[in-house]
Structure 1
């Protein structure tokens, strides 16, 4: 499969400029020149995949309690933009389906992070896989499915094998190679703090691409790019800073 990565991937849209994981964030990312965005998908109480990073409501919306305790309709009543700035008041938590439609219309490729609430790992991955198969059969060269949870990637490997997978790691523990290979991953997505030139070379020599998160400092981004990372996941307009 031929997949064309961009040097920069907008983290949760463009999180320095708009509320994260929102449709407005994706529109602004596209306007800023991003061709790839990353976002988080978890399930509502009624098994609707929605975009949200935290298991608990409140940081990026005016909700209270676990995301998994609210139906999609209840989540849709929340304000997911006012916390970021008054100009974003009224922004809603988008469903995965709405996000796919938005990104498709904007021409954005997607790094879909499966972000399950505790205990719903398999169910979340099964539903995300089903949505990808149903809604995105023509976008297999524009989507990477990633997760910190190996079980989610295993389910995606089984249920949505046509889509590329990315192995997320905060520490790059010694078993990263065997784990990513066993899950049939295309790419490794490490925390940039654990990367150096030698590790990037080792990942490439093992046959994986490297997408690193979350890099907001231009000097650090320049170093990583110089060492050969394939993409930098960022909240900022680093492409302008490094031009």
Structure 2
């Protein structure tokens, strides 16, 4: 079971999605890291959640600035790999103006390949909707694709088996639902997806009881802000 440290699971006083937070998560035993990525004005992938930084009245947007004009605490993807390596799973949500995500995906894959070749690509999980994931798939056969969705979309799509077939057609590796959507009546969905060769993830898993429940359902990965709880549960699943 992969334990993704959400935004690095920063300690109090640490910036989220920062290199110190990511280092802490890996040192604390997280098997995966999670972040969001934006393209700077010169096409450089940068790790940040909102894409906007600075105090009120002086807010700046990452897409409006070249990478050399960004503050030093804001890591580029290349710096991330250069300092942390590639020996962990890495989940990324692609952010930016509408229509820019495919360009962001291409830039991310290029940096990952340059940093760690096939290993980095195989440990990279790109998250998004089915329409966007279909655009990412031709970029690299090794990169994993994660469909972040909801039960409502699955029901609208004709049920789990039909939706799973669509995931396979796109080349999606995993389906990701919010932790609270994984209820006992839906635990059987895990087996359906596994039979289709699709991994099952749960995000926003914050409580130990929630993490333990998802592990009991057989989920393959969870995302959490709480490093110790995350490692306690996901480490136990590896033992």
TM-score (norm 2): 0.81
Q: CA deviation at 1:71?
A: 1.8
Of 40, 61, 64, which residue of structure 2 is paired with 1:66? 61
- Judged with a 3 Å threshold, the aligned counterparts in structure 2 of structure 1 residues 127 and 240 are, in CA distance, closer, same or farther, namely closer
Asked if the contact 1:16–1:235 (Cα under 8 Å) also holds between the matched residues in 2, the reply is no
Stretches (4+) displaced over 6 A? none
The aligned residue for residue 53 of structure 1 is 49
Q: CA deviation at 1:54?
A: 1.4
Q: What CA distance in whole angstroms lies between the structure 1 residues aligned with 2:62 and 2:29? A: 32
- Give secondary structure in 1 for the equivalent of 2:145: strand
Q: CA deviation at 1:39?
A: 1.4
- Give secondary structure in 1 for the equivalent of 2:90: strand
The aligned residue for residue 169 of structure 2 is 182
Asked if the contact 1:144–1:166 (Cα under 8 Å) also holds between the matched residues in 2, the reply is no
Q: Deviations over 1:71-105 (max 9, x none)?
A: 2122225xxxxxxxxxxxxxx11001011122317
Q: Any residues of structure 2 matched to 1:159-238 within 5 Å, and which?
A: 159-171=139-151, 173-174=153-154, 175=157, 176-196=163-183, 197-236=187-226, 237-238=228-229
Asked if the contact 1:110–1:143 (Cα under 8 Å) also holds between the matched residues in 2, the reply is yes
Is residue 9 from structure 1 mapped to residue 9 from structure 2 by the alignment? no
Structure 2 gap ranges (5+): 158-162
Asked if the contact 2:41–2:63 (Cα under 8 Å) also holds between the matched residues in 1, the reply is yes
TM-score (norm 1): 0.79
Of 25, 36, 40, which residue of structure 1 is paired with 2:36? 40
Q: Any residues of structure 2 matched to 1:76-155 within 5 Å, and which?
A: 76=71, 92-104=73-85, 107-140=87-120, 142-155=122-135
Q: CA deviation at 1:230?
A: 1.2
Q: How many residues are matched?
A: 222
- Judged with a 3 Å threshold, the aligned counterparts in structure 2 of structure 1 residues 56 and 15 are, in CA distance, closer, same or farther, namely same
Higher helix share: 2
RMSD: 2.6
- Judged with a 3 Å threshold, the aligned counterparts in structure 2 of structure 1 residues 155 and 128 are, in CA distance, closer, same or farther, namely farther
Structure 1 gap ranges (5+): 1-5, 78-91
